[in-house]
Chain A
Amino acid sequence: ASADTLRIGASPVPHAEILEQAKPILAEQGIDLEIIIFQDYILPNTALAGGDIDANYFQHVPYLTSVLAENPDFDFVNAGDVHIEPIGIYSRRFESLQDLPEGGRVILRDSVAEEGRILSIFQREGVVGLREGVAPVDIRISDIVDNPKNLTFLPDIEAALLPQVYFNDEADAVTINANYALGAGLDPVADPIAVESATDNPYANIITVRAGDETRPDIQALVEVLHSDAIRTFINENYKGAVIPVELQ
């Protein structure tokens, strides 16, 4: 039976929650899905490279690309896109990013993989200008070249605490990942003052496996289940637009 065990590393929310839905379905196919939760973005890839897990599910393609560039000994491939989590920007004081005052304070989560992603929203709204020629995933706050409002970006807060930060009105704007917004009773579609677009979003979260494993039947079964209607329905109903299943070609 152990031959049928598939060990997958995942971020806690929503990745692990989605996998939990897939677990009974895979069990019917004789695959025992073992979910290992990671809270950081380094160890899941370390564990994958070391063979401690068979796959992981926490990162998006731009992040994987930069990881592979930095770690030549990693040989990973994308076994399939699963979902997109559009990031929302919330404010208790203002209606839009353009309304943010001179010298306003913006709070970001402490995930370096998402800094560039969030700043891109500010660029899209015309509030800041970013350095040209830097890959989105590598953009840092230090890459802001044009900041007419003189906004301050504070990037150090644990993602799960951000709803509290918002409720306590600690800053002019707070970015909150949709799943945490949902957990805190916010509407991740209606409440934000700016949202990342769901279409053409390069930040689809993927199943990553060691090269060659993408053809393993159990991996393929997993991806298939994650793409199944049952899971798509679960995502849509449970996350109410905060997590969006990827479009299937």
Chain B
Amino acid sequence: MISISHVSKAFARRDGPVVALDDVSLHVAQGDIYGIIGYSGAGKSTLLRLMNGLEHPDQGTVTVADTLISAAPERALRAVRPKIGIIFQHFNLLWSRTVAGNIRLAMQIAGTPRAQIEARTAELIRLVGLEGRAVAYPSQLSGGQKQRVGIARALANNPDVLLCDEATSALDPETTDQILDLLAQINRDFGLTIALITHEMHVVRRICNHVAVMENGRIVEAGAVSDIFANPQSAVTRSLLRTLPDDSADAPNRLVLVYRGAVASEPLLAAAIQKHGLPVTIHGGRTNKLADGPLGELVISVDAAPEQIAAFVTDLNAAGIEVHDV
């Protein structure tokens, strides 16, 4: 779907050129959700902007849906762009249009019939959780609300390809998850191909099947998410992976073990497991260095009789571990 081949791009500056992309190649297949991660200034936004021809490469080619974007005249680009949605890092909303007006614009450009526009606009506003704010102007919105308008606008024309530049960076985790679920669903139902820049690993983990890691204008690592996550090769990737949160909190029949301070570093759970001989599954957990000392949390489930579990919990409590039953 998106084929980037040996692309380089430099920006002229007073004290010499800044190389934003350096011999980058990337292939996004139809239906992929392709994550692009990397440090600030790595060239992610520049790479994304090549994919709809907003920027042209100095060298190399960019092909999207069989159109040679890197060499297409503006007229040809205009024809394919309504099918390539983009969410900008800085939103780029029209201040002169309301929430609804901004969303409508995309459809007006695509020549959607008026009646359809109205229905779709209302639907999109609901999807991004801005009900009741349809007539607000961007200046009356919070940062995250603006970003959601940008998301709705990019989805308006049911694009085949969606380019997201930090599409959820201004959103709280709950809203982020809703939006990501929405994207994943469109991807499943309609085969939407997504290229997605983010600096949040959990976004990659949650919906991407492929990921490319960028550093200094180069792709240092790329491949299936499970491969990269299981076996990170580069220092960048390893460093980025360290920030992943945990999914296990929604495991069924779970117990949450919380231990504070000194307790955190001792092998108390192991001791209890040995003593009771129970089949304990450890779903996940974390040790957090808080300002006032470490705080540990483990999520486990125990496949045993209630009285066995109760004894196990009593022992844990005696050792200074709080156990919450959720």
Q: Do the two chains touch directly in the complex (Cβ atoms below 8 Å apart)?
A: no
Q: Which residues of B contact A (CB under 8 A)?
A: none
